[in-house]
Structure 1
Amino acid sequence: MSSFVDLLNSPRETRPNIKFEQPGEQADSQHVLARVAFEKNGFAPELHKGVPTVGVPMTTETEPGFHEVFAASGPVVAGREGGLVYAVDGRHLFCSIQVTERDVYRDAARIAYDSAFELATRLGYPNILRMWNLVGGIIDDNADGVEIYRDFCAGRSEAFALWSGRILHIPAATGIGTRGNGVYLYFISGRADAEVHHLENPRQTPAYHYPESYGPKAPSFARATFADGILYISGTASIIGDETVHKGNISGQVDVTLENITTLISTENLGKVRAEGGYTLRDLDLIKVYVSRPEDIPFVRSRCEEVFSPDARVVYLNVDICRPDLLVEIEAIVQ
């Protein structure tokens, strides 16, 4: 088996291939860096046939589950350290950890991030490209009467502050609810020499500059990350500046969300770091659409089918969003 040093020193294909699969479509595990199972029941990160695998409770009994699969770009070394499960392939690190349900998450979130950042830097992958934070009860209150998402964000922010200068930048991310309890964290990161650009949206206040009215510590994420020829678009919602707009109006919120993504990926914005210019909504590949009210899903699906490519893989998940007044959130990847 290859060693970590061998993987870091050997040339590799730079582009990770990420795809959605139905469980019956599972790829050969020899070519898989990691797998995230979106199913009715979650399970803690584990090594399944040598592949880091985590199950997130995001679907109902009547909805089909799916897997998000990260393909390996070279020989893989996988392992476990405490609650962390991870794999590297010479260009990328995948890492996942679960924070079990508790009364207050702040300290546990900081410790989880701290351990993940220590692993990433020690193995030589300090360029975080994309993070997912899947939070049970995201808009509920913790034991201190603080919204769980704000509680979680405080611990996450403290970890980023602790690792400032070693974890190179704040990346694209999604913070979204689940149908279970606890927090599921996973991310993909690159080597220190990776060319990585983190983008903001001129229509929106950077999340890490949100005022204290949104919590004691601002959320730690960029609106998008462009690296290795791949664009990772963070969870995007009906927010202008830092304020939710079109409260209670699903049509208005879908329109603003799509307008926000259009601006984010435009030539005027993305063209600052991508020589070929920007993208349009028809270029989006892997799209997750989170809808908080189940009765809104048919409308949201219809609207998305109008603007996205028929070749795009799109999944719809009925879960809570990080603000009670947000009805829809969309994330995507272009690769």
Structure 2
Amino acid sequence: MTVIHPETGALTAALDCFFIRPGEDERARTAGRHVLGRITYGHGGRAPLLHDGAPLVRIAMAGAGAERVTEVWTTDRPVRCGRDGDLVYAEDGEHLLCAVRIEERGVYRDTVRAVYEAAFALMARLGYPDLLRMWNLVGSITGPNEEGTENYRDFCVGRAQAFEAWAGRMAGMPAATGIGSLRPGIDLYFLACRTGRARHLENPRQTPAHRYPVQYGPKPPSFARATLLEAAGCSGPVLYVSGTASIIGDDSVYPGDIDAQCAVTLANIEALIAPENLGRHGMAGGFRLRDLDCVKVYVRDAGHLPTVRAHCAKALGADRGIAFFNVDVCRPELLVEIEGICR
């Protein structure tokens, strides 16, 4: 294991995220800052590696002819990077970003549990106790494994077992995205923090995912609908919104109707981030839909992309940082999923 610790500083780092597209100059956006990680949602994928002092994650999310997008995480403090087995990571003394890939296999659950536990152990060793955000990009997400179990449900078993094994050592389940990708296997990356206060939120319109009934799989999905980070030394809280779809309670609603599913999805996010919901969780403040940034929109059918773009432009603003991907969603009847960050 390679470990290079950052120097201790008095102020908490400010974490930021933005998208870079082909032809754009990353240097103009990173002047005076330090890169914590890059995640390219592109045409091909490979195991994450360390490049230019930070993790580089390449995930197959863009089909032929589609635009690739790189998500860049930056901080205002110096970054140190390292490798721990298959995990690559970078840290700035306040935030940790780590990434790993699971290659295609017949059954995923045991490997998913091992990988999650390895990430949890890394966070604990390096002193980042609060998990903020998880991304899980699953090839053939609604397809069957070699036992006939849906790959996403297989994945959820391993993830739930890891959280159960670390119960009492992890401060709850954070925001997450579980979405399809265009390459077999599973790509994962995580954000954690050291001294900031992470608070996990549920949605008044939806059943908490970790309480879903058994009809959705032997283990329910292990995540919260959002995570609010209150970081010392920063100007205000940041809200990480989980991948959100057309689900009311635990039921998928409006199957086959892309306009209605877009409307429900956006209404779910609006309710989640509203002052009234933060107040239910004992927090002040709140956000509007137009506060969402670094928005990623996942659309099952390519033919629906113009409709989804129109809904997002109207609700979020045409000038927002929004990336669209034509990939499968975690339930066959769901047509669109949206995530983002409110600052």
Asked if TM exceeds 0.5, the reply is: yes
Do the aligned residues in 1 keep the contact of 2:13 with 2:92 (CA within 8 Å)? no
1:321 corresponds to 2:329: yes
Residue 161 of structure 2 corresponds to residue 166 of structure 1 = no
Contact 1:33/1:76 (8 A) holds in 2 = yes
Q: How does 1:281-320 map to 2 (within 5 A)?
A: 281-320=289-328
1:20–1:68 contact (8 Å) kept in structure 2: yes
Residue number in structure 2 paired with 1:222: 224
* C-alpha separation in 2, matches of 1:120 and 1:173: 17
Q: Which amino acid aligns with 2:211?
A: H
* Aligned mates of 1:318, 1:11 — CA distance in 2: 43
**1:157/1:26 CA distance change after superposition, 3 Å:** same
Cα deviation, 1:73-93, whole Å, max 9, x if unaligned, reads 311110011100001001100
Equivalent residue, structure 1, for 2:10? 11
State how far apart, in whole Å, the 2-side matches of 1:139 and 1:275 are: 36
CA distance in 2 between counterparts of 1:47 and 1:145 reads 36
- Secondary structure of 2:319's partner? coil
Counterparts of 1:82-161 in structure 2, within 5 Å, are 82-161=85-164
- Give how far 1:10 is off: 1.8
Give the distance between the partners of 1:273 and 1:16, measured in 2 at CA.
24
Give the C-alpha shift of residue 94 in structure 1: 0.3
Distance, in Å, in 1 between the alignment partners of 2:72 and 2:212 is: 33
Q: What TM-score do you get using the length of structure 2 for normalisation?
A: 0.93
Q: CA deviation at 1:38?
A: 0.8
CA distance in 2, matches of 1:274, 1:15: 24
Q: Distance in 2 between matches of 1:120 and 1:42?
A: 25
Q: Which residue of 2 aligns with 1:263?
A: 271
2:297/2:325 contact within 8 Å kept: yes
Please give the alpha-carbon distance, in whole angstroms, between the structure 1 residues aligned to 2:251 and 2:9: 47
Equivalents in 2 of 1:274, 1:295: separation in Å?
Answer: 42
Structure-1 residue corresponding to 2:234: none
AA aligned opposite 2:260: G
Shift in Å at residue 323 of structure 1? 0.3
Q: Which runs of 4+ in 1 moved over 4 A?
A: 272-276
One-letter amino acid of the counterpart of residue 104, structure 2: E
Alignment of 1:40-59 (within 5 A): 40-59=43-62
Q: Which amino acid aligns with 1:21?
A: I
In the alignment of these two chains, the number of paired residues is 331
Q: Is the 8 A contact 1:15 1:230 kept in 2?
A: no
- Aligned 8 A contact 2:278 2:284 in 1: no
Gap regions ≥5 residues in structure 1: none
The answer to whether residue 20 in structure 2 is matched with residue 21 in structure 1 is yes
Which shifted more, 21-30 or 305-314?
Answer: 21-30
> What amino acid does structure 2 have at the position aligned with 1:215?
G
Alignment RMSD: 1.6
> What is the alpha-carbon distance in structure 2 between the residues aligned to residue 279 and residue 103 of structure 1?
42
Amino acid at match of 2:285: G
* Structure 1 residue 12 displacement after superposition: 3.2
Give the TM-score taking structure 1 as reference length. 0.95
SS state at 2:77 partner: coil
Cross-structure match for 2:215 = 213
Measured after TM superposition, the shift of residue 274 of structure 1 is 7.8
How far 1:267 moved relative to its partner? 1.0
Q: Percent same amino acid among aligned pairs?
A: 49
